[in-house]
Structure 1
Amino acid sequence: MTTDVAIRVEGIEKSFKDLHVLRGVEFTVEAGSIFALLGSNGAGKTTLVRILATLLTADAGAASVNGHDVGSAPEAVRQAISLTGQFAAVDEVLSGRENLVLVAKLRHLKDPGAVADAMLERFSLTEAGGRRAGTYSGGMKRRLDIAMSLIGDPPVIVLDEPTTGLDPQARKEVWQTVQGLARNGTTVLLTTQYLDEAEQLADRIAILHQGVIIQNGTLTELKKLLPSATVEYVEKQPSLEDVFLALVGETSADNGPAEDGALAGKEIR
Protein backbone atom coordinates (compact mmCIF):
# COMPACT_ATOMS: atom_id res chain seq x y z
CA MET A 1 0.00 0.00 0.00
CA THR A 2 1.39 3.40 -0.95
CA THR A 3 0.32 6.91 -0.03
CA ASP A 4 1.51 10.48 -0.50
CA VAL A 5 1.93 10.61 3.28
CA ALA A 6 4.55 8.06 4.32
CA ILE A 7 4.29 8.66 8.08
CA ARG A 8 1.32 10.06 9.98
CA VAL A 9 1.43 10.75 13.73
CA GLU A 10 -1.73 11.94 15.49
CA GLY A 11 -1.89 12.78 19.18
CA ILE A 12 0.69 10.23 20.33
CA GLU A 13 1.14 10.09 24.11
CA LYS A 14 3.52 7.95 26.13
CA SER A 15 4.37 7.91 29.83
CA PHE A 16 6.65 5.79 31.96
CA LYS A 17 5.00 5.77 35.39
CA ASP A 18 4.93 9.46 36.40
CA LEU A 19 7.23 10.60 33.60
CA HIS A 20 5.23 12.01 30.67
CA VAL A 21 7.55 11.66 27.68
CA LEU A 22 5.19 12.35 24.77
CA ARG A 23 2.19 14.66 25.22
CA GLY A 24 0.17 14.59 22.02
CA VAL A 25 2.75 14.58 19.23
CA GLU A 26 1.42 15.26 15.73
CA PHE A 27 3.09 15.54 12.31
CA THR A 28 3.11 14.03 8.82
CA VAL A 29 6.01 13.09 6.55
CA GLU A 30 5.59 13.22 2.79
CA ALA A 31 6.76 10.24 0.78
CA GLY A 32 10.26 10.62 -0.65
CA SER A 33 11.22 13.49 1.65
CA ILE A 34 13.68 13.97 4.51
CA PHE A 35 11.95 14.97 7.73
CA ALA A 36 14.07 15.99 10.72
CA LEU A 37 12.79 15.60 14.26
CA LEU A 38 14.95 18.04 16.17
CA GLY A 39 15.22 18.04 19.94
CA SER A 40 17.60 17.98 22.87
CA ASN A 41 18.46 14.85 24.85
CA GLY A 42 15.39 13.60 26.71
CA ALA A 43 12.91 15.34 24.39
CA GLY A 44 11.27 12.02 23.49
CA LYS A 45 12.71 11.45 20.01
CA THR A 46 13.82 7.85 20.54
CA THR A 47 10.59 6.96 22.34
CA LEU A 48 8.59 8.16 19.35
CA VAL A 49 10.85 6.25 16.95
CA ARG A 50 10.33 3.06 18.94
CA ILE A 51 6.57 3.53 18.74
CA LEU A 52 6.72 3.99 14.96
CA ALA A 53 8.87 0.87 14.68
CA THR A 54 6.29 -1.12 16.75
CA LEU A 55 8.82 -1.68 19.55
CA LEU A 56 6.69 0.30 22.01
CA THR A 57 2.94 0.81 22.33
CA ALA A 58 1.56 4.32 22.64
CA ASP A 59 -0.74 5.15 25.55
CA ALA A 60 -2.96 7.26 23.30
CA GLY A 61 -3.15 8.56 19.75
CA ALA A 62 -2.51 6.85 16.43
CA ALA A 63 0.31 6.49 13.92
CA SER A 64 0.71 4.91 10.52
CA VAL A 65 3.66 4.05 8.28
CA ASN A 66 3.14 3.73 4.52
CA GLY A 67 -0.60 3.55 5.14
CA HIS A 68 -0.43 0.82 7.81
CA ASP A 69 -1.51 1.46 11.39
CA VAL A 70 1.25 0.72 13.90
CA GLY A 71 -1.24 -0.63 16.41
CA SER A 72 -3.51 -2.82 14.28
CA ALA A 73 -1.08 -3.83 11.51
CA PRO A 74 2.38 -4.11 13.09
CA GLU A 75 3.60 -6.81 10.69
CA ALA A 76 2.83 -4.64 7.66
CA VAL A 77 4.59 -1.70 9.32
CA ARG A 78 7.71 -3.79 9.95
CA GLN A 79 7.84 -4.73 6.28
CA ALA A 80 7.60 -1.07 5.27
CA ILE A 81 10.07 0.45 7.73
CA SER A 82 13.71 0.02 8.61
CA LEU A 83 15.22 1.43 11.80
CA THR A 84 18.85 2.39 12.23
CA GLY A 85 19.68 3.16 15.86
CA GLN A 86 22.15 5.57 17.43
CA PHE A 87 25.02 3.08 17.20
CA ALA A 88 26.02 1.00 14.19
CA ALA A 89 24.60 -2.51 14.58
CA VAL A 90 27.23 -4.36 12.56
CA ASP A 91 28.99 -7.58 13.50
CA GLU A 92 32.61 -6.47 13.71
CA VAL A 93 33.94 -10.04 13.44
CA LEU A 94 32.34 -10.50 10.03
CA SER A 95 33.45 -8.71 6.90
CA GLY A 96 31.30 -5.96 5.44
CA ARG A 97 30.08 -8.30 2.72
CA GLU A 98 29.31 -11.07 5.21
CA ASN A 99 27.20 -8.65 7.26
CA LEU A 100 25.15 -7.81 4.17
CA VAL A 101 24.82 -11.44 3.10
CA LEU A 102 23.58 -12.34 6.59
CA VAL A 103 20.82 -9.73 6.48
CA ALA A 104 19.81 -10.74 2.96
CA LYS A 105 19.48 -14.37 4.12
CA LEU A 106 17.41 -13.31 7.16
CA ARG A 107 15.07 -11.49 4.76
CA HIS A 108 14.86 -14.65 2.62
CA LEU A 109 16.05 -12.86 -0.52
CA LYS A 110 17.23 -14.71 -3.58
CA ASP A 111 20.98 -14.64 -4.28
CA PRO A 112 22.17 -12.93 -1.06
CA GLY A 113 25.67 -12.61 -2.49
CA ALA A 114 24.46 -10.52 -5.42
CA VAL A 115 22.40 -8.37 -3.06
CA ALA A 116 25.46 -7.79 -0.87
CA ASP A 117 27.67 -6.88 -3.84
CA ALA A 118 25.09 -4.39 -5.13
CA MET A 119 24.92 -2.71 -1.71
CA LEU A 120 28.70 -2.53 -1.42
CA GLU A 121 28.86 -0.78 -4.78
CA ARG A 122 25.96 1.56 -3.96
CA PHE A 123 27.63 2.71 -0.73
CA SER A 124 31.19 2.86 -2.12
CA LEU A 125 32.36 -0.01 0.08
CA THR A 126 33.36 -2.54 -2.60
CA GLU A 127 37.10 -2.33 -1.91
CA ALA A 128 36.52 -2.71 1.83
CA GLY A 129 33.91 -5.45 1.47
CA GLY A 130 36.30 -8.28 2.27
CA ARG A 131 37.71 -6.64 5.40
CA ARG A 132 36.42 -7.24 8.92
CA ALA A 133 33.88 -4.55 9.82
CA GLY A 134 35.81 -3.99 13.03
CA THR A 135 38.58 -2.36 10.97
CA TYR A 136 36.21 0.19 9.40
CA SER A 137 36.20 3.86 10.30
CA GLY A 138 33.15 5.30 12.07
CA GLY A 139 31.73 6.69 8.85
CA MET A 140 32.21 3.41 6.98
CA LYS A 141 30.52 1.46 9.78
CA ARG A 142 27.57 3.81 9.68
CA ARG A 143 27.30 3.52 5.89
CA LEU A 144 27.43 -0.27 6.19
CA ASP A 145 24.75 -0.09 8.89
CA ILE A 146 22.48 1.96 6.62
CA ALA A 147 23.17 -0.41 3.71
CA MET A 148 22.09 -3.34 5.89
CA SER A 149 18.92 -1.45 6.78
CA LEU A 150 18.05 -0.92 3.12
CA ILE A 151 18.25 -4.57 2.10
CA GLY A 152 14.78 -5.52 0.91
CA ASP A 153 14.06 -1.94 -0.27
CA PRO A 154 11.90 -0.65 2.60
CA PRO A 155 10.09 2.53 1.49
CA VAL A 156 10.68 4.23 4.85
CA ILE A 157 13.90 4.39 6.86
CA VAL A 158 14.26 5.91 10.32
CA LEU A 159 17.69 7.16 11.35
CA ASP A 160 17.90 7.79 15.09
CA GLU A 161 20.73 10.29 15.65
CA PRO A 162 22.90 8.68 12.93
CA THR A 163 25.97 10.90 13.37
CA THR A 164 26.33 10.80 17.15
CA GLY A 165 30.02 10.44 18.02
CA LEU A 166 31.28 10.71 14.44
CA ASP A 167 34.11 13.00 13.34
CA PRO A 168 33.49 15.77 10.73
CA GLN A 169 34.57 13.59 7.80
CA ALA A 170 32.31 10.72 8.83
CA ARG A 171 29.38 13.10 9.36
CA LYS A 172 29.82 14.37 5.80
CA GLU A 173 29.80 10.79 4.50
CA VAL A 174 26.56 10.01 6.33
CA TRP A 175 24.94 13.25 5.15
CA GLN A 176 25.75 12.39 1.54
CA THR A 177 24.30 8.92 2.07
CA VAL A 178 21.05 10.30 3.50
CA GLN A 179 20.67 12.76 0.62
CA GLY A 180 21.20 9.89 -1.80
CA LEU A 181 18.41 7.89 -0.16
CA ALA A 182 15.90 10.68 -0.71
CA ARG A 183 17.01 11.13 -4.33
CA ASN A 184 16.24 7.44 -4.87
CA GLY A 185 12.73 7.86 -3.45
CA THR A 186 13.21 6.55 0.09
CA THR A 187 11.37 8.44 2.83
CA VAL A 188 13.76 9.39 5.64
CA LEU A 189 12.75 10.28 9.20
CA LEU A 190 15.85 11.67 10.88
CA THR A 191 16.11 12.40 14.58
CA THR A 192 18.94 14.66 15.63
CA GLN A 193 20.09 17.14 18.24
CA TYR A 194 22.46 18.85 15.81
CA LEU A 195 21.04 22.07 14.35
CA ASP A 196 23.40 22.07 11.37
CA GLU A 197 22.43 18.51 10.49
CA ALA A 198 18.73 19.37 10.30
CA GLU A 199 19.56 22.54 8.35
CA GLN A 200 21.69 20.68 5.80
CA LEU A 201 19.46 17.67 5.21
CA ALA A 202 15.80 18.22 5.95
CA ASP A 203 12.95 19.21 3.66
CA ARG A 204 10.89 19.86 6.79
CA ILE A 205 11.90 20.23 10.44
CA ALA A 206 9.79 19.60 13.54
CA ILE A 207 11.06 20.78 16.92
CA LEU A 208 10.15 18.41 19.75
CA HIS A 209 10.33 19.98 23.20
CA GLN A 210 9.05 18.56 26.48
CA GLY A 211 7.02 15.94 24.65
CA VAL A 212 5.22 18.19 22.15
CA ILE A 213 5.94 19.57 18.67
CA ILE A 214 6.34 23.29 19.21
CA GLN A 215 7.10 24.19 15.58
CA ASN A 216 6.96 22.37 12.26
CA GLY A 217 7.93 23.75 8.88
CA THR A 218 10.56 24.21 6.22
CA LEU A 219 13.83 25.90 7.13
CA THR A 220 12.63 29.07 5.41
CA GLU A 221 9.37 29.03 7.34
CA LEU A 222 11.14 28.53 10.65
CA LYS A 223 13.59 31.35 9.97
CA LYS A 224 10.67 33.71 9.36
CA LEU A 225 9.61 33.23 12.99
CA LEU A 226 12.42 35.60 13.99
CA PRO A 227 12.74 39.29 13.01
CA SER A 228 14.74 40.02 9.88
CA ALA A 229 18.42 40.52 10.55
CA THR A 230 20.09 43.87 10.06
CA VAL A 231 22.20 43.71 6.92
CA GLU A 232 25.82 44.63 7.60
CA TYR A 233 29.04 43.85 5.75
CA VAL A 234 31.03 41.22 7.62
CA GLU A 235 34.15 39.53 6.29
CA LYS A 236 33.36 35.82 6.63
CA GLN A 237 36.16 33.74 8.07
CA PRO A 238 36.30 29.98 7.48
CA SER A 239 35.16 27.80 10.34
CA LEU A 240 37.42 25.22 11.92
CA GLU A 241 35.38 22.51 10.18
CA ASP A 242 36.00 24.23 6.81
CA VAL A 243 39.74 24.25 7.50
CA PHE A 244 39.80 20.64 8.72
CA LEU A 245 37.88 19.27 5.73
CA ALA A 246 39.89 21.35 3.26
CA LEU A 247 43.15 19.99 4.65
CA VAL A 248 42.24 16.32 4.95
CA GLY A 249 39.58 15.99 2.26
CA GLU A 250 35.85 15.35 2.44
CA THR A 251 36.24 11.57 2.70
CA SER A 252 38.14 9.53 5.24
CA ALA A 253 41.59 8.09 4.61
CA ASP A 254 40.02 4.63 4.30
CA ASN A 255 38.36 5.73 1.08
CA GLY A 256 41.31 7.39 -0.62
CA PRO A 257 43.36 10.61 -0.50
CA ALA A 258 41.92 14.09 -0.59
CA GLU A 259 41.37 15.52 -4.05
CA ASP A 260 43.98 17.90 -5.47
CA GLY A 261 43.07 21.50 -5.00
CA ALA A 262 41.05 20.83 -1.86
CA LEU A 263 42.03 24.27 -0.58
CA ALA A 264 40.82 26.05 -3.72
CA GLY A 265 38.57 28.95 -2.82
CA LYS A 266 39.40 28.67 0.90
CA GLU A 267 41.19 31.77 2.14
CA ILE A 268 42.64 31.25 5.61
CA ARG A 269 43.72 34.34 7.52
Structure 2
Amino acid sequence: MLAVIGGSGMAQLPCLEISHRQIIRTPYGEPSGPLTFGKINNHEIVFLARHGHGHIIPPHAVNYRANIWALNSLKPKHVIAVAAVGGIHADFKPGMLVIPDQIIDYTYGRKFTFFEGTEQPITYTDFTYPYCQITRDYILEAAKQANEAVIDGGVYAATQGPRLETAAEINRLERDGADMVGMTGMPEVALAKELGLCYATIAVVANHAAGRGSSVLAIPLAEVYAILEKAMVNVRNILQQAAKYNGN
Protein backbone atom coordinates (compact mmCIF):
# COMPACT_ATOMS: atom_id res chain seq x y z
CA MET A 1 0.00 0.00 0.00
CA LEU A 2 1.12 3.52 -0.83
CA ALA A 3 0.27 6.30 1.64
CA VAL A 4 -0.01 9.90 0.47
CA ILE A 5 -0.12 12.94 2.74
CA GLY A 6 -1.60 15.94 0.96
CA GLY A 7 -0.61 19.46 1.93
CA SER A 8 -1.63 22.93 0.78
CA GLY A 9 -3.09 22.64 -2.71
CA MET A 10 -3.88 18.93 -2.28
CA ALA A 11 -6.76 18.53 0.17
CA GLN A 12 -7.99 15.60 -1.92
CA LEU A 13 -6.68 13.25 -4.58
CA PRO A 14 -8.95 13.50 -7.66
CA CYS A 15 -7.34 10.53 -9.42
CA LEU A 16 -8.20 8.23 -6.50
CA GLU A 17 -11.05 5.76 -6.96
CA ILE A 18 -12.42 5.98 -3.41
CA SER A 19 -13.67 2.83 -1.73
CA HIS A 20 -14.23 4.09 1.81
CA ARG A 21 -13.13 6.48 4.53
CA GLN A 22 -12.09 5.48 8.02
CA ILE A 23 -11.46 7.32 11.27
CA ILE A 24 -8.47 5.82 13.08
CA ARG A 25 -8.06 6.46 16.79
CA THR A 26 -4.53 6.76 18.13
CA PRO A 27 -2.89 7.12 21.56
CA TYR A 28 -2.09 10.69 20.50
CA GLY A 29 -5.60 11.82 19.64
CA GLU A 30 -7.31 12.00 16.27
CA PRO A 31 -5.53 12.56 12.95
CA SER A 32 -6.29 15.60 10.81
CA GLY A 33 -9.31 13.77 9.41
CA PRO A 34 -10.59 10.41 8.21
CA LEU A 35 -8.21 8.39 6.07
CA THR A 36 -9.43 7.94 2.51
CA PHE A 37 -8.90 4.52 0.95
CA GLY A 38 -9.09 3.69 -2.72
CA LYS A 39 -7.16 2.68 -5.80
CA ILE A 40 -5.05 4.32 -8.48
CA ASN A 41 -4.32 2.08 -11.48
CA ASN A 42 -5.75 -0.80 -9.46
CA HIS A 43 -3.22 -0.35 -6.65
CA GLU A 44 -4.28 0.38 -3.10
CA ILE A 45 -3.74 3.93 -1.85
CA VAL A 46 -4.51 5.63 1.44
CA PHE A 47 -4.73 9.42 1.48
CA LEU A 48 -4.65 11.85 4.39
CA ALA A 49 -5.16 15.61 4.11
CA ARG A 50 -2.61 17.09 6.50
CA HIS A 51 -4.62 20.27 7.07
CA GLY A 52 -7.97 18.52 7.34
CA HIS A 53 -11.08 18.73 5.21
CA GLY A 54 -11.42 22.26 3.93
CA HIS A 55 -7.81 23.12 4.80
CA ILE A 56 -8.65 24.40 8.29
CA ILE A 57 -5.74 23.20 10.45
CA PRO A 58 -2.73 25.57 10.44
CA PRO A 59 0.79 24.06 10.29
CA HIS A 60 1.64 24.59 13.96
CA ALA A 61 -1.64 22.94 15.08
CA VAL A 62 -1.45 19.76 12.98
CA ASN A 63 -1.49 16.61 15.12
CA TYR A 64 1.58 15.15 13.42
CA ARG A 65 1.92 12.29 15.90
CA ALA A 66 -1.64 11.09 15.34
CA ASN A 67 -1.26 11.38 11.56
CA ILE A 68 1.96 9.38 11.40
CA TRP A 69 0.79 6.83 13.98
CA ALA A 70 -2.43 6.23 12.02
CA LEU A 71 -0.59 5.72 8.75
CA ASN A 72 1.99 3.47 10.36
CA SER A 73 -0.80 1.23 11.68
CA LEU A 74 -1.61 0.39 8.06
CA LYS A 75 1.99 -0.69 7.32
CA PRO A 76 2.37 1.17 4.00
CA LYS A 77 5.33 0.30 1.79
CA HIS A 78 5.98 3.98 1.09
CA VAL A 79 4.75 7.30 2.47
CA ILE A 80 4.86 10.22 0.05
CA ALA A 81 4.24 13.63 1.61
CA VAL A 82 3.31 16.56 -0.60
CA ALA A 83 4.25 20.00 0.74
CA ALA A 84 4.17 23.55 -0.60
CA VAL A 85 7.39 25.52 -0.14
CA GLY A 86 8.94 28.86 -0.96
CA GLY A 87 12.03 28.82 -3.13
CA ILE A 88 15.17 30.30 -1.58
CA HIS A 89 17.80 28.97 -3.99
CA ALA A 90 17.79 30.88 -7.29
CA ASP A 91 17.17 27.64 -9.21
CA PHE A 92 14.06 26.78 -7.18
CA LYS A 93 11.47 28.69 -9.15
CA PRO A 94 7.67 28.70 -8.69
CA GLY A 95 6.03 25.64 -10.17
CA MET A 96 9.07 23.40 -9.81
CA LEU A 97 9.02 20.10 -7.92
CA VAL A 98 11.83 19.17 -5.54
CA ILE A 99 12.63 15.91 -3.74
CA PRO A 100 14.52 17.19 -0.67
CA ASP A 101 17.25 15.12 0.94
CA GLN A 102 17.96 17.22 4.04
CA ILE A 103 16.03 19.35 6.52
CA ILE A 104 16.73 22.02 9.15
CA ASP A 105 14.23 22.43 11.99
CA TYR A 106 13.26 25.93 13.12
CA THR A 107 9.93 24.95 14.67
CA TYR A 108 9.13 25.11 18.38
CA GLY A 109 6.45 23.98 20.79
CA ARG A 110 5.30 21.07 18.62
CA LYS A 111 4.90 17.50 19.85
CA PHE A 112 7.95 16.16 18.04
CA THR A 113 8.59 12.63 19.35
CA PHE A 114 6.88 9.39 20.30
CA PHE A 115 9.58 8.73 22.88
CA GLU A 116 8.73 10.79 25.93
CA GLY A 117 7.71 10.16 29.50
CA THR A 118 9.40 8.34 32.35
CA GLU A 119 7.75 4.99 31.61
CA GLN A 120 10.11 4.21 28.72
CA PRO A 121 13.87 4.36 28.27
CA ILE A 122 15.55 7.20 26.40
CA THR A 123 15.57 6.41 22.68
CA TYR A 124 17.86 8.13 20.19
CA THR A 125 16.99 8.19 16.48
CA ASP A 126 19.69 8.53 13.84
CA PHE A 127 18.61 11.51 11.76
CA THR A 128 21.72 11.93 9.61
CA TYR A 129 19.66 11.27 6.50
CA PRO A 130 16.09 12.25 7.40
CA TYR A 131 14.35 11.06 4.23
CA CYS A 132 14.20 7.42 3.16
CA GLN A 133 16.47 7.03 0.14
CA ILE A 134 14.47 4.05 -1.10
CA THR A 135 11.33 6.17 -1.23
CA ARG A 136 13.22 9.10 -2.76
CA ASP A 137 14.46 6.81 -5.55
CA TYR A 138 10.94 5.48 -5.94
CA ILE A 139 9.58 9.01 -6.46
CA LEU A 140 12.40 9.94 -8.83
CA GLU A 141 11.74 6.89 -10.97
CA ALA A 142 7.99 7.62 -10.99
CA ALA A 143 8.74 11.19 -12.11
CA LYS A 144 10.93 9.85 -14.90
CA GLN A 145 8.21 7.46 -16.05
CA ALA A 146 5.66 10.30 -15.91
CA ASN A 147 8.01 12.58 -17.88
CA GLU A 148 7.81 15.17 -15.10
CA ALA A 149 10.86 17.26 -14.24
CA VAL A 150 11.97 17.24 -10.61
CA ILE A 151 15.02 18.53 -8.76
CA ASP A 152 16.87 15.72 -6.99
CA GLY A 153 17.96 17.00 -3.59
CA GLY A 154 17.74 20.17 -1.56
CA VAL A 155 17.64 21.41 2.02
CA TYR A 156 14.20 22.10 3.44
CA ALA A 157 13.96 24.72 6.21
CA ALA A 158 10.95 23.98 8.44
CA THR A 159 9.59 27.13 10.08
CA GLN A 160 6.82 27.57 12.62
CA GLY A 161 4.14 29.43 10.67
CA PRO A 162 1.44 30.24 10.05
CA ARG A 163 2.94 33.61 9.14
CA LEU A 164 5.40 33.79 6.29
CA GLU A 165 9.01 34.78 6.89
CA THR A 166 10.67 38.17 6.76
CA ALA A 167 13.28 38.87 4.09
CA ALA A 168 15.92 38.94 6.85
CA GLU A 169 14.82 35.50 8.07
CA ILE A 170 15.11 34.11 4.56
CA ASN A 171 18.62 35.58 4.32
CA ARG A 172 19.49 33.74 7.53
CA LEU A 173 18.02 30.48 6.26
CA GLU A 174 20.08 30.81 3.09
CA ARG A 175 23.24 31.37 5.12
CA ASP A 176 22.35 28.22 7.05
CA GLY A 177 22.29 26.30 3.79
CA ALA A 178 18.54 26.06 3.13
CA ASP A 179 17.25 25.87 -0.45
CA MET A 180 13.52 26.05 0.31
CA VAL A 181 11.25 26.95 3.21
CA GLY A 182 8.03 25.34 4.42
CA MET A 183 6.00 24.89 7.59
CA THR A 184 5.09 21.19 7.76
CA GLY A 185 8.32 19.26 7.20
CA MET A 186 8.95 18.92 10.92
CA PRO A 187 8.20 17.01 13.01
CA GLU A 188 6.48 14.91 10.33
CA VAL A 189 9.64 13.41 8.85
CA ALA A 190 11.22 12.86 12.28
CA LEU A 191 8.18 10.99 13.56
CA ALA A 192 8.17 8.82 10.44
CA LYS A 193 11.85 8.10 11.06
CA GLU A 194 11.16 7.08 14.65
CA LEU A 195 8.65 4.48 13.48
CA GLY A 196 10.83 3.25 10.62
CA LEU A 197 8.47 4.40 7.89
CA CYS A 198 9.82 4.76 4.34
CA TYR A 199 8.95 8.45 4.00
CA ALA A 200 9.94 11.12 1.49
CA THR A 201 8.58 14.45 0.31
CA ILE A 202 7.57 16.02 -2.98
CA ALA A 203 8.06 19.73 -2.33
CA VAL A 204 6.11 22.02 -4.64
CA VAL A 205 7.69 25.45 -5.04
CA ALA A 206 4.67 27.73 -4.80
CA ASN A 207 6.49 31.06 -4.70
CA HIS A 208 9.81 32.80 -4.31
CA ALA A 209 10.59 33.15 -0.61
CA ALA A 210 10.40 36.61 0.97
CA GLY A 211 12.77 39.08 -0.66
CA ARG A 212 13.44 36.79 -3.60
CA GLY A 213 12.27 36.91 -7.19
CA SER A 214 10.73 39.91 -8.96
CA SER A 215 8.06 40.58 -6.31
CA VAL A 216 10.51 41.64 -3.63
CA LEU A 217 8.06 43.88 -1.78
CA ALA A 218 5.47 41.19 -1.02
CA ILE A 219 4.57 37.62 -1.89
CA PRO A 220 1.63 37.65 -4.37
CA LEU A 221 -0.65 35.16 -2.63
CA ALA A 222 -3.22 35.13 -5.43
CA GLU A 223 -0.52 33.94 -7.82
CA VAL A 224 0.64 31.33 -5.31
CA TYR A 225 -2.68 29.48 -5.37
CA ALA A 226 -2.75 29.48 -9.18
CA ILE A 227 0.79 28.07 -9.29
CA LEU A 228 -0.09 25.40 -6.75
CA GLU A 229 -3.17 24.32 -8.68
CA LYS A 230 -1.16 23.91 -11.86
CA ALA A 231 1.78 22.16 -10.18
CA MET A 232 -0.48 19.67 -8.42
CA VAL A 233 -1.40 18.27 -11.83
CA ASN A 234 2.27 17.33 -12.24
CA VAL A 235 2.32 15.84 -8.75
CA ARG A 236 -0.72 13.71 -9.50
CA ASN A 237 0.96 12.46 -12.68
CA ILE A 238 3.90 11.29 -10.58
CA LEU A 239 1.63 9.63 -8.02
CA GLN A 240 -0.23 7.80 -10.75
CA GLN A 241 3.04 6.42 -12.09
CA ALA A 242 4.17 5.56 -8.58
CA ALA A 243 1.02 3.55 -8.02
CA LYS A 244 1.73 1.42 -11.09
CA TYR A 245 4.79 -0.21 -9.61
CA ASN A 246 4.11 0.26 -5.91
CA GLY A 247 4.02 -3.47 -5.36
CA ASN A 248 7.42 -4.08 -6.98
TM range (shorter): under 0.3
Instruction: State the TM-score, normalized to the length of structure 1.
Output: 0.25
TM-score for the superposition, normalised by structure 2: 0.26
The structure in which a higher percent of residues are helix is: 1
The structure that has the greater radius of gyration is 1
Compare relative contact order (CA 8 Å, sep 6+) and give the higher one, 1 or 2. Answer: 2
